Structure 1
Amino acid sequence: MTAVSAPDVAERLRAALGSHPERTAVVVGPETLGHGELDTASGALAARLRALGVRPGQTVLLHLRQSVHTLTGMIAALRAGAAWCVTEPGHPAERLAALPRDLECGALVWDAAADPDARQAVERLAAEAPYPLPVLDLAEHRRAAPPDDGTWTPAPDGAPAYVVTTSGSSGEPKAVVVGRDNLSALVADRDDGPFGTVFSACRFAWDGALLLTFPALCDGGTAVLPDHAALPDARACAELVRRWRVTRAVCPPSYYRLMLPHLPGAEAHLRQVVLAGEVVPEPLVAQHRAQLPGTGLRNEYGPTETTVAVLAHTVPDASSGTVPVGRPRGATTVHVLDERLRPAAPDALGELYVGGPQVTRGYARRPAATGARFVADPFSPLPGARMYRTGDLVRARKDGEIVFAGRADGQLKVRGIRVERHGVEAVLERHPAVGQASVQGVPGDGGLRLTAFWTAAPDAVALPGPRELLAHCRQELEAGSVPEEFVLIGSMPLAASGKVDEAALTRLLPAEGGGPDGADDTADALSQELAALWAKVLRHDDFGPEDSFFDAGGNSRSVVELHLCLEQRWPGALRVGQLFDLDRVADQARALRAAGARPASR
């Protein structure tokens, strides 16, 4: 028996871009490109890549902030017969340096006009590559772009389409190689009617951005995404949904919770919201129904190693309780197996294995890791078929719906990003003052919060504060894997099994509230009140008057939490977008005074 291949994604893109040149193809923040413009721009860039020597089977590194140029680069790589790998300025240098070692990279693309500060990282990456790595500056390319000759270089069977980096349990990065056939299967699986205009609240560096974007483009539709400035701003993302009258949207549950208050009336055009990347909390379903009663809600599931999404569950209007991750989509097969690799009984706990055409190639130059996760599929009639061992513990209900029950290998999903918590622990324990670390996902109103519990090394003389530990983690970890909270404890509590007692750890969390013990006595009352709000949101007070909110541990979720606190105290005084520029206590205090705000009476 042979597998039936899905139509090639490159051929579908080629036909769609050429058929509707006047339609809007992509919107990223304030920038737009029509189908014809995207066709021309990607063709010109593909011609430049071929001139640099890029050939089928290689990978093009796109070191770009999120913009229309990122998507243009992705399609240009496909047109050159190559794969793409998106990284963003600020990516840890160690992670970047691993890519040319693990992949055969044909070119490195960046944009000096959009991000001049990335020059040093780009030059270092090219210089340290184990082979000559051509560098293409998009700013220079746009000044003298070659003509689009309409060429789409054919790629051999099994050629990669894109690469996504993910951390390993040892803290070492892994590069997941996704084939063109895998991406083609994803697009073909979503042929369920006209797409219209879709929205993804995701970074191109995360494969969740592909879930609706590529099916929409192949269907002649419009893909809308936030740019790098709007990505952290839920209000700005909601405005994009409303302005472009989006019909389908996808985002992680924790981010959708922030967007929902800004979407009144969107049900007039928003037919469906897809939640992916995290467990869907029950209260969020109720909030969705209250805000958008006419908009359908679906939960989808899929590790990067199985090409974005392979299970789906449409949430019924009257459902309650745990939201399942769903049933297999398209040609995907799933099996819930016990520790002896036997099918688990209905409702019994087992590990989820995924088979079918969306199972990817594996990890670049990681044969041991690939062999451990991508195993022979004894249930498939196809020779050489493999299935992916997800590490997710699930239960298969009698009605066929699969319910997620946790991880078997220490991974967490935080804000839609997969975090190998043992890898984070390994990084923390490399700090000379840290003896042992345990990283936990602590539930909260906004989803899981990554919290690091740590003990002091026996020979530690001076103990680091949260600011020093944040800086240490940022040297090796991507932003989504850096803990939001650091809790120093005397010793790790152990369960009867001898393992760390995670329930006991969470009971050691400090009580909510409080303010900075070391508040500057010379600061005015308004600044002290702001500093207290910072301490409440950041859950530590290890910051000074000149520290940025983000350097002190803030992220896209906590800045929204800070804005909510400001709104309760001074309604309408500051917009959430201002907080990304006004990132010091003094800056925010000046802006509040200009808006007529006053400190609380004492």
Structure 2
Amino acid sequence: MKNVSDDHLEGIYTPNQDTAFANVVLHDYLDTIKTNVLITPPDKTALIFADQSISYHEVGHHVAVMMATFRQQGIRAGSVVAICLHKSPEHIYTTIACALMGIVWLPIDIQAPRSRIDYLLTNSRADFAVSQGPLSQLSGIQITTIDIDTARGHNDPIDLRDWSCVYDLSRRPAYYLYTSGSTGKPKCVVLNNQATANVLQQTIAHWDVTHNDVFMASTPFHHDMSVFDIFTPLSVAATLVIPTTEQQKDAGAWAALIAKHHITLWCSVPAIVDMLLTVSGHDQIKTLRLIAQGGDYIKPSIITLLKQTLPQARQFSLGGPTETTIWSIWHEVLDDDQHIIPYGKALAHNQYHILNEQHAPCETSTIGTMYMSGINLSNGYLLDGETHHNDFMPIKTTNGDVVMAFKMSDLGYYRDDGAIIFSGRKEGYLKVKGVRIAASEVENALSTYPAIHHAVVISCTHPTTDINELVALYTIKNTHDTSSTNRLPKQQLSAFDLRTYLKDQLPSSHIPSKFLLIDDIPLTANSKVDRNKLLSLAQERLSIAPTPVIAGTPTDSSLSAEVIDTVLTLFKNYLPKHQIQTLEGDTQLFALSIKPKQLMTIATQLSQQLNVSLDFYSLVVCKTLGEVMIKAQLALDRQ
């Protein structure tokens, strides 16, 4: 069994740097969680899941059970445990048990393709995996699986006061998180308790978080912002609401949860806030006292709408890549922030630097590359069990000191007041709906499709929804090449086929929503792919693309041929021939005599073919085929 050791600290933290923050007094959030489950009154709710209220004492019991299970398995501090569970209370019990025992925990996106999960487990050198049932089709990976249902049946007496905690708030590796990498493979970031404690402590104080707050776990547990969701509520004896699998992609369900449980704090990517505002009424979300958005560009229009809807609520923008721990820069949005939402200023004990190509500090209003140094710095990247420090480098500060810093793909400049303004990203990384995506990762997967010759992936702004979406532009192989077995006419490939193909290689967040066929890939004078020209081309085509017309279909400038054809084809499968010929957009669903089971099947097939989330209840409220098309298009656009 391989244990994580101090090797992770070599090459990046010299003794002076490692002790630079030794005098910083940090609140022990893990010890507070342990205390809270012991002394919090029995009627205080810690977690709410599927209408079930779970008390602090119950959380303590479940955590103690997991710790006992780990001890029985011989899992000790430094072991690596992969958490392969859906978002659930069990996921939280397992995470806290690992953290208290000094076990390195790794949350896995179990919705990811099997091949990707195999890579995450292999690269991280995980010793154990906690899952619900066995992990199927693992490609020869030697890993011991702990079934969560079996662990919950642990019958030995549990003493909550004897948890055998061996963690510390040091820079020793505490947990791993995967993020996209420029090499085309996910990067495993090694994170520590010291940095995490700083973020939680600064945020709790700055946001005035108390035991009276109610949080919403809106972020997937394998993303860095969820670390705040998991640990903060329990460390202040507050309450965390966890949406079920069915509720996680349903904005209407989020609004209902806010109203029902009087949620006060909301923290998510901007696209999620946008969806929430689209479907909710003021009365449903009026209990929100603070909304924080991070992980992507925040549109001023969202800020304006929030101010109109919740004028008393505080608003924050959050930033910083995974390598700088949860968030490392922020800005409280005030009335003066009308046209540009600042990236902000660094959290305490951190510093942001904007440098030019010669690594010299940029003057105010001059755009440069962002670097970050300070207590929030992670330990580096894990590659095949070894730590690497790509993008971590020594830089000279304006005071002449040399510090270790992380070089970002973000560009920005200093405003006169010292706040940083975000100015885009360097080539290679995209940020879509809060997820950092390496373009090369998606391009590599697309390029393996038999008919595609060259593919470039960019991020575009949807002309109707104003939401960033992932768009793939591609060329097809030479159809005149007689040696090719993949000769195809030069026409647009099926978006459905491309999505289906990518599902086996990429998570849903990395699958483009649009695929555009082009004749040639434009190049710059240096013979590099001209991504700026491709962005302009894609933006233009998305904006002026003609809308296919069907008699009686409600007009919607974003309704695509793919959605129309998919909806019509699926409904045709359940109709006699004489009805197929009369299908139109304004055809009433009740006139088609579609049975409930058939509509459920159609909803499932629509979801699969368009790679969206639509259920029976989404379609049963539609009166016409046109309304079904619009629902499907909206789901596709918000994907």
TM-score bracket for this pair, using the shorter chain length: 0.7 to 0.9
Aligned equivalents of 2:526, 2:131: Cα separation in 1: 51
Aligned to 2:509: 480
Q: Report the alpha carbon displacement of residue 101 of structure 1 after superposing the two structures with TM.
A: 2.6
Q: Report the alpha carbon displacement of residue 29 of structure 1 after superposing the two structures with TM.
A: 4.2
User: Structure 2 vs 1, CA of residues 79 and 124 (structure 1 numbering), >3 Å: closer, same or farther?
Assistant: farther
Q: Report the alpha carbon displacement of residue 19 of structure 1 after superposing the two structures with TM.
A: 2.7
Q: Report the alpha carbon displacement of residue 89 of structure 1 after superposing the two structures with TM.
A: 2.9
Q: Report the alpha carbon displacement of residue 575 of structure 1 after superposing the two structures with TM.
A: 13
CA-atom RMSD in angstroms = 3.5
Secondary structure at 2:62 match in 1: helix
Aligned equivalents of 1:380, 1:83: Cα separation in 2: 36
* Amino acid in structure 1 at the alignment position of 2:333: V
Secondary structure at 1:351 match in 2: strand
Secondary structure at 2:282 match in 1: coil
Q: Is the 8 A contact 2:369 2:409 kept in 1?
A: yes
TM-score w.r.t. the length of structure 1 is 0.84
Secondary structure at 1:412 match in 2: strand
* Amino acid in structure 1 at the alignment position of 2:45: T
Secondary structure at 1:529 match in 2: coil
Aligned equivalents of 2:326, 2:582: Cα separation in 1: 47
* Amino acid in structure 1 at the alignment position of 2:606: F
1:549-571 superposed Cα distances (whole Å, 9 cap, x missing partner): 23223335xx59x9699879699
For 1:392-471, list aligned pairs within 5 A.
Answer: 392-444=410-462, 445=465, 447-458=467-478, 459=484, 460-462=486-488, 464-471=493-500
User: Structure 2 vs 1, CA of residues 376 and 110 (structure 1 numbering), >3 Å: closer, same or farther?
Assistant: same
Number of residue pairs matched by the alignment: 556
Q: Is the 8 A contact 2:396 2:402 kept in 1?
A: no
Asked whether 1:492 is paired with 2:510, we answer no
Secondary structure at 1:364 match in 2: strand
Asked whether 1:181 is paired with 2:194, we answer yes
Aligned equivalents of 1:372, 1:294: Cα separation in 2: 44
Aligned to 1:82: 103
Asked whether 1:24 is paired with 2:45, we answer yes
User: Structure 2 vs 1, CA of residues 306 and 28 (structure 1 numbering), >3 Å: closer, same or farther?
Assistant: farther
Among candidates 139, 147, 165, match of residue 149 of structure 2: 139
Aligned to 1:39: 60
Aligned equivalents of 2:586, 2:448: Cα separation in 1: 34
Question: What percent identity do the matched residue pairs reach?
Answer: 22
Aligned equivalents of 2:546, 2:308: Cα separation in 1: 29
Secondary structure at 2:585 match in 1: helix
* Amino acid in structure 1 at the alignment position of 2:290: Q
* Amino acid in structure 1 at the alignment position of 2:68: A
Among candidates 58, 64, 76, match of residue 55 of structure 1: 76
Aligned to 2:594: none
Aligned equivalents of 1:440, 1:564: Cα separation in 2: 32
For structure 1, the 5+ residue unaligned runs are 113-118, 534-543, 584-602
Among candidates 319, 326, 344, match of residue 308 of structure 1: 326
Aligned to 1:376: 394
Among candidates 508, 511, 514, match of residue 541 of structure 2: 508
Aligned equivalents of 1:332, 1:527: Cα separation in 2: 62
Asked whether 1:242 is paired with 2:275, we answer no
1:215-272 superposed Cα distances (whole Å, 9 cap, x missing partner): 2211111122322221100111121122111221111111111111414135653211
Q: Is the 8 A contact 1:396 1:402 kept in 2?
A: yes
* Amino acid in structure 1 at the alignment position of 2:605: S
* Amino acid in structure 2 at the alignment position of 1:554: N
Asked whether 1:282 is paired with 2:300, we answer yes
User: Structure 2 vs 1, CA of residues 440 and 194 (structure 1 numbering), >3 Å: closer, same or farther?
Assistant: closer
1:370-422 superposed Cα distances (whole Å, 9 cap, x missing partner): 43211125439999952111110011111111111111132122111111112
User: Structure 2 vs 1, CA of residues 554 and 337 (structure 1 numbering), >3 Å: closer, same or farther?
Assistant: same
User: Structure 2 vs 1, CA of residues 421 and 43 (structure 1 numbering), >3 Å: closer, same or farther?
Assistant: same
Aligned equivalents of 1:36, 1:317: Cα separation in 2: 43
Aligned to 1:15: 35
Q: Report the alpha carbon displacement of residue 65 of structure 1 after superposing the two structures with TM.
A: 1.1
Q: Is the 8 A contact 2:191 2:325 kept in 1?
A: yes
Aligned equivalents of 1:482, 1:203: Cα separation in 2: 17
Aligned equivalents of 2:55, 2:631: Cα separation in 1: 31
* Amino acid in structure 1 at the alignment position of 2:500: A
Among candidates 376, 386, 391, match of residue 409 of structure 2: 391
User: Structure 2 vs 1, CA of residues 388 and 451 (structure 1 numbering), >3 Å: closer, same or farther?
Assistant: same
Q: Is the 8 A contact 1:176 1:363 kept in 2?
A: yes
Deviates more, 1:186-195 or 1:38-47: 186-195
Q: Report the alpha carbon displacement of residue 494 of structure 1 after superposing the two structures with TM.
A: 3.7
Q: Is the 8 A contact 1:41 1:148 kept in 2?
A: no
User: Structure 2 vs 1, CA of residues 382 and 548 (structure 1 numbering), >3 Å: closer, same or farther?
Assistant: farther
Q: Is the 8 A contact 2:451 2:477 kept in 1?
A: yes
For structure 2, the 5+ residue unaligned runs are 1-18, 479-483, 549-560, 590-600
Q: Report the alpha carbon displacement of residue 432 of structure 1 after superposing the two structures with TM.
A: 2.1
Secondary structure at 2:47 match in 1: strand
User: Structure 2 vs 1, CA of residues 100 and 384 (structure 1 numbering), >3 Å: closer, same or farther?
Assistant: farther
* Amino acid in structure 1 at the alignment position of 2:233: A
Aligned equivalents of 2:248, 2:630: Cα separation in 1: 15
For 1:196-207, list aligned pairs within 5 A.
Answer: 196-207=213-224
Deviates more, 1:143-152 or 1:55-64: 143-152
Asked whether 1:552 is paired with 2:609, we answer yes
Aligned equivalents of 1:565, 1:415: Cα separation in 2: 28
Secondary structure at 1:455 match in 2: strand
1:161-186 superposed Cα distances (whole Å, 9 cap, x missing partner): 22111222232122111112222222
Q: Is the 8 A contact 2:442 2:457 kept in 1?
A: yes
Aligned equivalents of 1:413, 1:217: Cα separation in 2: 30
Q: Is the 8 A contact 2:585 2:624 kept in 1?
A: no
Among candidates 160, 165, 168, match of residue 153 of structure 1: 165
Q: Is the 8 A contact 1:202 1:225 kept in 2?
A: no
Aligned equivalents of 2:467, 2:227: Cα separation in 1: 23
TM-score w.r.t. the length of structure 2 is 0.79
User: Structure 2 vs 1, CA of residues 293 and 415 (structure 1 numbering), >3 Å: closer, same or farther?
Assistant: same
User: Structure 2 vs 1, CA of residues 238 and 446 (structure 1 numbering), >3 Å: closer, same or farther?
Assistant: farther
Q: Which has the larger radius of gyration?
A: 2
For 1:284-299, list aligned pairs within 5 A.
Answer: 284-299=302-317
Aligned equivalents of 1:287, 1:565: Cα separation in 2: 30
